[in-house]
Structure 1
Amino acid sequence: MQTVTDRTSNPFGLRPPFDRSDPDDRTAVFGYGDANADFHVIGDHPGVHGGASTGVPFTELEDGLAVQDVLREVGFASGPWDAPSLENCFWSYIHMCTLPDGRAPTDEEYADLERFFDAELRAINAHVLLPVGARATDHVLREYTTQRHRIDLDMASLHARDVRGRGFLVVPINAPVEWVEGDREAIVSRLEALLASDYRQTKGVATTVG
């Protein structure tokens, strides 16, 4: 069943619970892309993956642009880098609000926004979750799989690896700043293989196995 919205940015009209942004920054970097997507790319916060000025995830900053570059190569993104067109792909952050000087959120600030991220993730209802970096991967594995207690959060080992979840296939992406030779090619290859497969069956498989 498809989502009944064609809005690209903040398709479900979320309203952040606080505004601690710098004067020239957006209050929040909302979820962005195809609300009917099968692939949901999940970043950390605007200070890591960008968008404080553009309002679009995975823009402006080096780590975010490296992720966007991979998504362009496999055909999810096209057009301007600061406002790309997305097909079959949705981008969002576990902490959408922008903070002064791009600082990291506190544990309390992450917790304040958890319900917003969860609501959006469930509304998108993608088949494949692609968390980027340790914080996003930890959250996704804890909340949407039964396997976090079995898995060491070693992002170098988890990178581009399949983890079965509760109704989702999770494919973690190591932070681009930590990529070594072959890491970019590994995630490109994994995404291409998924796109060439009947990945929509992963929801049923994941529900059984996870």
Structure 2
Amino acid sequence: MQNVTDRTSNPFGLRPPFDRSDPGDRVAVFGYGNANADFHVIGDYPGIHGGETTGVPFTETEAGRAVQSVVRELGFASGPRDAPVLENCVLSYVHMCTLPAGRTPTDAEYADLERFFDAELRAINAHVLLPVGARATDHVLRTYTTQRRRFDLDMASLHARDIRGRGFMVVPIREPSEWDDGDRETIVSTLEDLLASDYRQTKGVATTVG
């Protein structure tokens, strides 16, 4: 089933519950891309993965640009770096709101925004979830699979590993600042192989296995 929306940014019209942004920053960095996408890249928060002034996830910061470069190599993104045109891909954050000086959200602030992220993720209903970094990976594995207990949160070993979830395939991405030699090539290769497969069977398989 496809969503009836052609909006690229904040396709479902979410309204954040608070504004703690610095002057000149966006109140929040909403989901961005194709709301009918099969691939959903999930970052942590704007202060680390970017978008505080552009309003677009995975822009501005070194970590954000590294993730976007992978998305581009896979053919999901084209056009300007700060306002890419996305095909079959959507980008969003576990914590969408911007915070003073890019500080890390508190546990309470993450909890405040959990329902907004969950509503957006389920409305998009992608086949493949790509959480970036430990916080996003932990949340996705806990919430959308039954397999979190099987894994230590060791991103070096989870990087580019396919994990079956409840209606989703999860492929974690190690935080770009921690990439070792070969990590970028590994995630690109894994996703290229996935694109060449019948990954849309994920829905049926994951429901029974996850």
TM-score range, shorter chain: over 0.9
Match of 2:42 in 1: 42
Residue 203 of structure 1: how far off its partner (Å): 1.0
Moved over 3 A (4+): none
Segments of structure 1 that go 5 or more residues without pairing to the other structure are none
Distance in 2, matches of 1:135 and 1:111, equals: 13
Segments of structure 2 that go 5 or more residues without pairing to the other structure are none
TM-score for both structures, normalised by structure 2: 1.00
TM-score for both structures, normalised by structure 1: 1.00
Q: How many residues align?
A: 210
Structure-to-structure mapping, 1:20-169, within 5 angstroms: 20-169=20-169
Residue 54 of structure 1: how far off its partner (Å): 0.0
Distance in 2, matches of 1:81 and 1:136, equals: 23
CA deviations over 1:45-78 (Å, ceiling 9, x no partner)? 0001000000000000000000000000010000
CA deviations over 1:140-172 (Å, ceiling 9, x no partner)? 000000001111100000000001100000000
Distance in 2, matches of 1:202 and 1:86, equals: 22
Distance in 2, matches of 1:199 and 1:6, equals: 24
Distance in 2, matches of 1:151 and 1:202, equals: 20
Distance in 1, matches of 2:75 and 2:89, equals: 10
For residue 129 of structure 1, give the secondary structure of its aligned residue in structure 2.
Answer: strand
